[in-house]
């Protein structure tokens, strides 16, 4: 008689290498049943992220099948789905990699309690972050609220070593039935043409590792000076792969460290940007309200505007402010947005249009294929001025000045705004294929007039802050 199998519950860890849970599972010697659940918590993510997750699940399933294993798909709440799988397979229990957002923590806590009550294996493992959020502490023993000291503490830690990808997994005597991924319709909520977005995705572990190597070889040396120019391919684009766990941050860490030791000048800056991702998760783990409430209470009295016709123009990339519109259209066409452009687009919405940062956050959640709830909550509150370690209220980006500085030849603006060129590039034209029909946006329409003069919008936001109710 063979050992009872283990269920490997994959979530945001869709890779084989550098995978602590998988390594621990293999060490048990038990047969392994890889599972992916489409549970309500996963169903709740934004349209683009859900579509992109479907691509990742398909890639990972094919990878497992190539090894002679499988990825079993089930839909429904996690506790019930896992209990049913255990009953069907006689499994000894479940292992998974930790998640750190409030909804996942609540779900996983309930699953762990259920399994332990039943005397089952219930093991959670690290791997999504460089350090567990509770492992990085200030001298006084609490969580960090400011990045620089957090970073100093993080970089002194030993980051988890690399782990080999298994060549094969021990197979169960029989497989439980699986849903078909196509039946899940993971792209159903995409209101735009996924076909436009697809060529801009690099899906799966192999693509992620290729992307990392290409970045280190071709871009790292110039990263520090080139990363702020959105027309330049200077960034790693690995946020997309990190979101789904197609690559471990520890692998990126060690690879960049190796380059730093070899004297590569951009490595330090890049490592620090990777550190920001951990910091965001550190913050949201210790302060879950960061995703929904103003971190700094002095912003509670600010007369934020809710959703509006102006906000809708912002979403559509029709504000008449070219840097902002290019940014919003880039997100529509590619599923991502350059970091500099995110700051400009977010600043314009929250300051010049005085719109509540949660309105912008919700749209990014729906449109980004690299959607990360922690980085976005931190980033939006930073721009709005309401966040930890935030920009002071008077630091309001001027999109025209920023464009002169970071897009001096208008290459980025022209790349995504067809109205600005006689012969627009393909990306600019594909925006019109990407947007919903209902928007009725045509390439031959005139480029819109600005929603508000930049100096006027800036002054309005400053006055509103000064006059806010205490």
Partner DNA sequence: TGCGCGTTTGG
Partner DNA sequence: CAAACGCGC
- Asked if 354 interacts with DNA (CB under 7 A), we say no
Task: Please choose, out of 304-312, 320-328, 394-402, 428-436, the segment that lies near DNA by the rule CB under 7 A.
Answer: 394-402
CB 54 within 8 A of CB 181: yes
Check whether 39 is labelled as a binding-site residue: no
Measure the CA angle with vertex 272, ends 269 and 273; round to 5°.
90
Candidate ranges 134-142, 183-191, 370-378, 390-398; the one touching DNA (CB under 7 A) = 390-398
- Under DSSP, the state recorded for 355 is B
User: What x-and-dash track marks residues 395-434 binding DNA by CB under 7 A?
Assistant: xxxx--x---------------------------------
327 binds DNA (CB under 7 A): no
Question: Left if phi > 0, otherwise alpha if psi is -120 to 50, otherwise beta: which for 93?
Answer: left
- Residue 52 interacts with DNA (CB under 7 A)? no
Query: HSE of 62 in the Cβ direction (CA atoms, 13 Å)?
Result: 10
C-alpha–C-alpha distance, residues 9 and 358, integer Å: 32
Beta strand 6-10 pairing with 121-125: unpaired
Chain centroid to CA 325: how far? 21
249: DSSP letter: H
Q: Which of 343, 384, 428, 451 binds DNA (CB under 7 A)?
A: 343
Q: Is 109 in the site for DNA (CB under 7 A)?
A: no
* Strands ordered across the beta sheet of 32-38: 72-75, 32-38, 6-10, 93-97, 121-125
Among 44, 80, 233, 394, binds DNA (CB under 7 A): 394
Tell whether residue 444 is among the known ligand binding residues.
no
**What's the first-to-final CA gap in the chain, in angstroms?**
71
Give percent helix, percent strand, percent coil of the chain, each to the nearest 5.
50, 5, 40
Q: Is 236 annotated as a binding residue?
A: yes
Min dist CB 131 to DNA, Å, is 21
Residue 307 makes contact with DNA by CB under 7 A: no
> To the nearest whole angstrom, how small is the minimum distance from the Cβ of residue 239 to DNA?
16
- CB under 7 A: which stretch of 86-94, 107-115, 203-211, 387-395 binds DNA? 387-395
CB 316 within 8 A of CB 361: no
Rounded Cα distance, 378 and 380, in Å: 6
User: Taking CB under 7 A as the rule, does residue 104 contact DNA?
Assistant: no
Confirm if 13 and 19 have CB atoms less than 8 A apart: yes
Task: Give yes or no for residue 228 binding DNA (CB under 7 A).
Answer: yes
Catalytic residue positions? 273, 276, 304, 339, 357, 380
Residue 455 found at the interface with DNA (CB under 7 A) = yes
**In the complex, minimum distance from the CB of residue 148 to DNA, in angstroms, rounded to a whole number:** 10
CB of 228 to DNA, least distance (A): 5
Per CB under 7 A, does 447 bind DNA?
Answer: no
Flag whether 372 is marked binding.
yes
Task: Give SS3 for 89.
Answer: helix
Please choose, out of 10-18, 21-29, 303-311, 389-397, the segment that lies near DNA by the rule CB under 7 A: 389-397
Residues in binding site for FAD: 223, 235-239, 270, 370-372
Residues in binding site: 223, 235-239, 270, 370-372
Rule CB under 7 A: which residues touch DNA? Answer: 228, 343, 391-392, 394-398, 401, 455, 458
């Amino acid at each position: 008689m063979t050992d009872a199998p283990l269920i490997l519950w994959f979530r945001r860890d869709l890779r084989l290498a550098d995978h602590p849970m998988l390594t621990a599972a293999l060490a048990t010697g038990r047969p392994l049943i890889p599972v992916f659940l489409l549970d309500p918590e996963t169903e709740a993510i934004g349209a683009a992220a859900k579509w992109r997750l479907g691509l990742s699940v398909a890639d990972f399933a094919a990878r497992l099948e190539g090894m002679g294993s499988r990825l079993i798909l089930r839909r429904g709440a996690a506790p019930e789905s896992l209990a049913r799988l255990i009953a069907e397979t006689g499994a000894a229990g479940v292992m998974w990699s930790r998640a750190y957002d409030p909804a996942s923590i609540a779900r996983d806590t309930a699953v762990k309690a259920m399994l332990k009550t039943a005397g089952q294996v219930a093991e959670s493992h690290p791997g999504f972050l460089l350090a567990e959020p509770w492992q990085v502490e200030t001298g006084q023993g609490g969580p960090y609220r400011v990045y620089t000291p957090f970073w100093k503490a993080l970089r002194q830690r030993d980051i988890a070593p690399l782990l080999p990808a298994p060549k094969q997994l021990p197979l169960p005597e029989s497989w439980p039935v699986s849903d078909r991924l196509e039946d899940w319709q993971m792209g159903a909520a995409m209101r735009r043409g996924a076909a436009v977005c697809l060529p801009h995705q690099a899906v799966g572990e192999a693509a992620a590792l290729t992307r990392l190597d290409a970045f280190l070889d071709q871009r790292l040396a110039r990263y520090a000076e080139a990363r702020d120019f959105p027309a330049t391919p200077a960034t790693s684009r690995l946020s997309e792969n990190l979101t789904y766990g197609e690559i471990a941050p520890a692998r990126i860490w060690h690879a960049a460290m190796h380059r730093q030791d070899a004297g590569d000048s951009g490595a330090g800056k890049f490592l620090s940007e990777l550190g920001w991702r951990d910091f965001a998760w550190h913050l949201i783990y210790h302060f879950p309200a960061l995703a929904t409430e103003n971190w700094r209470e002095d912003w509670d009295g600010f007369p934020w505007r809710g959703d509006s016709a102006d906000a809708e123009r912002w979403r559509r990339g029709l504000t008449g402010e070219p840097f902002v519109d290019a940014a919003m259209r880039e997100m529509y066409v590619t599923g991502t947005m350059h970091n500099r452009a995110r700051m400009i687009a977010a600043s314009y919405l929250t300051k010049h249009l005085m719109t509540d940062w949660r309105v912008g956050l919700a749209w990014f959640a729906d449109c980004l294929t690299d959607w990360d709830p922690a980085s976005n909550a931190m980033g939006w509150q930073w721009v709005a001025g309401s966040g930890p370690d935030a920009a002071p209220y008077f630091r309001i980006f001027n999109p025209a000045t920023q464009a002169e500085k970071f897009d001096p030849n208008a290459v980025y603006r022209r790349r995504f705004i067809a109205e600005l060129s006689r012969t627009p590039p393909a990306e600019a034209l594909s925006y019109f294929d990407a947007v919903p029909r209902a928007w009725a946006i045509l390439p031959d329409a005139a480029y819109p007039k600005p929603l508000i003069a930049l100096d006027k919008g800036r002054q309005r936001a400053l006055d509103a802050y000064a006059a806010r109710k205490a």
